[in-house]
Amino acid sequence: MRSLQVCRCGEPMQFAERADPKPAGSEVLLKVLAAGICHSDLHIWEGYYDLGHGKRLQLLERGIKLPLTMGHENVGQVVAVGPKARGVKVGDKRLVYPWIGCGACAVCKRGDEQLCMVPRFVGVYRDGGYATHLIVPHPRYLLNYGSRMKPEQAAPLACSGVTAYGALKKLGPLVKSEPVVVIGAGGLGLICIAIIKAMKGKGAIAVDIDTVKREAAKRAGAFAIVDPNAPDAVAQLQAAAKGPVWAAVDFVGNSQTAQLAIDSLVKGGKLIVVGLFGGDITLPLPFVPIRAMTIQGSYTGSLKELNELIKLVRNRPLPLVPTQISALDGAQRVISDLKAGKVVGRVVLTPA
């Protein structure tokens, strides 16, 4: 087994080799066919989130231990099963649900393992898919994504897919009745636009500072695009929505994007914040009741939501978001490109 590890935050990842692990109990060993590189991997590699005003959330103080093999968007082929693992067999190709909790607390039992206080997230708190092999603790985290999708197409569903879907679910019936403003047309935003179509939603209005990304959003199915740096960006959004905006999902999450969304919302509108770019906003509190606004955070999605998403797209795969394939050795370069904002769409590693 060969894996690429973060040994010190912000320094080049290093290869490690060890004997192939043997699955114990309910564990399953997979050969990694596809491992998506996610923007949050950049934050993990750097070791912190920016909280604004020079403050940082240090990830090593939040239970992340080094060395760490990143990679939480994984598709693998089962190569060995533990004596208590039921429901999968050698040769099965499966998508891995990565947002695994302790499995024992009330939050996990209610089905929100992604919100567990003792997380065991694959590629974050335990080793992930930037490796030839991956151990998953239980077969219930392995999803059958069918035969219509390639591994590199299915892998991002575990993070960007379920994250976008989890955010859209928080908008409830608004997805069907109103256009959704999708802020940030990176990997997450593009998948969100495609999922809105798959859900037979009203449609997406995409917002991005980058012309190339705005065009990619249009190709992914956004019916309108807006440059947030335009002086009349709010008016443009409202014109595209044919009125004030009811629903926005912010996949960037910085001071400017959150402010733009709040300024565009109608009374009773909803903003779902997903992006972890960083920064802060000053919000006069009377606006919250007077404008009856909802600002809700969304963090990935539940196992149930990933199962729902797979059901939605298994037989009608999402149009392929521009995806580049890279060997495991190319991961560090991709992380640098992400830092420089040079990646359009997704990059997926093919380690095995």
The binding site for Zn ion (CB under 5 A) comprises 38, 40, 101-102, 105, 108, 116, 159
Q: How many CB atoms lie within 10 A of CB 109?
A: 11
Residue 321 CB, nearest approach to Zn ion (Å): 14
Tokens of 196: 């809105």
Q: How many CB atoms lie within 10 A of CB 294?
A: 15
- Which residue lies nearer to Zn ion by CB, 121 or 145? 121
Nearest-10 crossing angle of helices 160-170, 303-313: 100
Residue 247 CB, nearest approach to Zn ion (Å): 23
Q: How far apart are CA 185 and CA 337, in angstroms?
A: 16
Angle at 176 between CA 250 and CA 320, to 5 degrees: 65
Tokens of 276: 């972890």
Residue 162 CB, nearest approach to Zn ion (Å): 9
- Which residue lies nearer to Zn ion by CB, 191 or 240? 191
- Which residue lies nearer to Zn ion by CB, 159 or 260? 159
Residue 19 CB, nearest approach to Zn ion (Å): 29
Tokens of 132: 């030839």
Tokens of 214: 């705005």
Residue 332 CB, nearest approach to Zn ion (Å): 17
- Which residue lies nearer to Zn ion by CB, 276 or 293? 276
- Backbone phi, psi, residue 191, to 5°: -65, -40
Q: Give the nearest residue (CB) to Zn ion.
A: 38
Residue 103 CB, nearest approach to Zn ion (Å): 6
**Type of residue found at 205:** I
Q: How many CB atoms lie within 10 A of CB 333?
A: 12
- Which residue lies nearer to Zn ion by CB, 66 or 118? 118
Residue 349 CB, nearest approach to Zn ion (Å): 13
- Which residue lies nearer to Zn ion by CB, 101 or 253? 101
Q: Which residues pair with 182 in a beta bridge?
A: 206, 249
- Which residue lies nearer to Zn ion by CB, 161 or 269? 161
Q: Are 340 and 121 in contact (CB under 8 A)?
A: no
- Backbone phi, psi, residue 2, to 5°: -120, 130
Nearest to 151 by CA among 91, 78, 76, 71: 76
Residue 116 CB, nearest approach to Zn ion (Å): 3
- Which residue lies nearer to Zn ion by CB, 79 or 115? 115
Query: How many Cα atoms within 13 Å fall on the side-chain side of residue 25?
Result: 5
- Which residue lies nearer to Zn ion by CB, 102 or 212? 102
Residue 121 CB, nearest approach to Zn ion (Å): 10
Q: How many CB atoms lie within 10 A of CB 298?
A: 20
Element (H, E) at 226: strand 224-226
